[in-house]
Amino acid sequence: MRALLVVNPAATTTSARTRDVLIHALASEMKLEAVTTEYRGHARDLGRRAAESDDIELVVALGGDGTVNEVVNGLLHHGPDPERLPRLAVVPGGSTNVFARALGLPNDAVEATGAILDALRDRTERTIGLGLAAGTPGSEDEATPDRWFTFCAGFGFDAGVIGRVEQQRERGKRSTHALYLRQVARQFLDEPRRRHGTITLERPDQEPISDLVLSIICNTAPWTYLGNRPVYASPDASFDTALDVLALDRLSTPAVARYATQLLTSTPERGPRGKHAVTLHDQTDFTLNSKVPLPFQMDGDHLGLRTSVTFTGVRRALRVIV
């Protein structure tokens, strides 16, 4: 088997020595080419190169969720084709590693590498669905390039939190759960539209749902992790279905306290609920429109401000090693 290993040297939870050990372990089982990323978007370019090659059967992403997202977007540059495209394997190296953990892989890079090698020997894999976000035709974001996401996207409040975290990291702060919680509090205090949202959710042949403050789009469950604790925004979300949505139409202090508690105590059977919560399951096509530009994120990567995003849930988009 010929494989391409995409290595993010800035992965927060793996050292250079650990990465060398992992590379040697993988190389002992396959014909491996290891490439270290050198710039933002490099992993995407490498994924596209693998997709367009005639002999690469497997792409291994060693890094966090951002690295995985780039590789996936490269692999699917010409669209999903699970039977033709190389398979994907993920060695978690980031601070949270939601995608790898949602697949059932260990959060430790060495243990995950062992699990991947066992899966390759046993020929175990699954074909998963993915989400696609695009600029809405007729909107000012119409020309925005399409982009795939593996586990979640967010429009509004949660994307603003991620933007704040990225600003702190650029200033030298470490990516910790405490940092995220501080930015949640600051985003809430600075949010000017927490009582009257500007987002409208539109679906074909359905009445629009308006005045939403935030929208979280899930492709799997859990939505994220706080340390070892899984957090379920949409417990029914799955790699085997289309997309799920959790939206809120109010972020008053009592509402925030209620829904934050529900998220922190969520389980695979029970997520946030209440009169200010909108929950949708297995949605194939929908659009989020906002009266004002709002922050937008995909797989934990802040992508700036948008006024309209159209989402598509694509079942059976990519084969992964598990």
- Percent of the chain that is helix, strand, coil (3-state, to 5): 30, 35, 35
Residue 178 CB partners (closer than 8 Å, separation 6+): none
Q: Which residue has the higher pLDDT, 67 or 166?
A: 67
pLDDT tens-digit series, residues 303-319: 999 999 999 999 999 99
| Mean predicted lDDT score pLDDT of the chain | 93
Contact 183, 166 (CB under 8 A): no
Lowest mean pLDDT among 34-48, 158-172, 201-215, 255-269: 158-172
Say if CB 322 and CB 124 are below 8 A apart: yes
pLDDT at residue 176 is higher than 80 = no
Pairing of strands 58-63, 87-92: parallel
Contact between 233 and 215 (Cβ < 8 Å): no
Q: What element of type H or E holds 313? A: strand 301-321
CB-based contact 33:59 (threshold 8 Å): no
The residue-averaged pLDDT of 32-58 equals: 97
Is 140 strand, coil or helix?
Answer: coil
Alpha helices in 203-308 (DSSP H): 253-264
For the cut 90, the answer to whether the pLDDT of residue 257 exceeds it is: no
Q: What is the pLDDT of residue 281?
A: 98
Here the tokens at position 255 are 């509402």
pLDDT at 195: 62
pTM for the structure as a whole: 0.93
